[in-house]
Chain A
Amino acid sequence: MHLEDRLSAYLDSELDATQQRQAEEHLVECAECRTELSSVAEVRDQLRSLPVVEVRAGTFEDVAEVVPLRRARFRPMAAAAAVAALVVGVGFGVAGNQSVPLQLNQVVEQHVARASSDPGFNVLQVQAVANR
Chain B
Amino acid sequence: MASNEAIPTWEQVATDYGRVIYNFAYRLTGNRDDASDLAQEVLVRVRRGLATYRPGSFEGWLWRITRNAFLDEVRRKQRRPTTELPAEDRSALVTSPTPDDVLAETRLSDEMQAALLNLPYEFREAVVMCDVVGLTYQEIADAAEVPVGTVRSRIHRGRLMLRDALEAG
Contact = CB atoms under 8 A, between A and B. Distances in A.
Interface string A46-71: 11111111111001101110110110
Given A7-B156, A47-B131, A50-B27, A42 B163 contact: yes
B36 A59 contact: yes
Contact of B47 (A14, A55, A64): A64
A27 interface: no
Interface in B109-152: 109, 112-113, 127, 130-132, 136-137, 152
Nearest to B137: A14
Interface string A1-37: 0001111110010100000000000000000000010
B69 interface: no
Contact of A60 (B14, B48, B166): B14
B91 interface: no
Nearest to B109: A50
Contact of A56 (B23, B32, B137, B157): B32
B16 to A, nearest CB: 11
| Chain B contact patch, size range | 35 or more
Contacts of A60: 14, 18, 39-40, 43
A39 B26 CA distance: 25
A59 B39 contact: yes
Nearest to A50: B109
B104 interface: yes
A95 interface: no
A9 to B, nearest CB: 5
Contacts of A69: 47-48
A63 B11 CA distance: 9
A50 to B, nearest CB: 5
B36 A56 contact: yes
B153 interface: yes
Nearest to B19: A55
Q: A-B pairs with the 5 shortest C-beta distances?
A: A47-B131, A5-B156, A8-B156, A60-B14, A55-B22
9 contacts: A4-B156, A47-B112, A47-B131, A47-B159, A50-B27, A52-B19, A59-B39, A63-B47, A69-B47
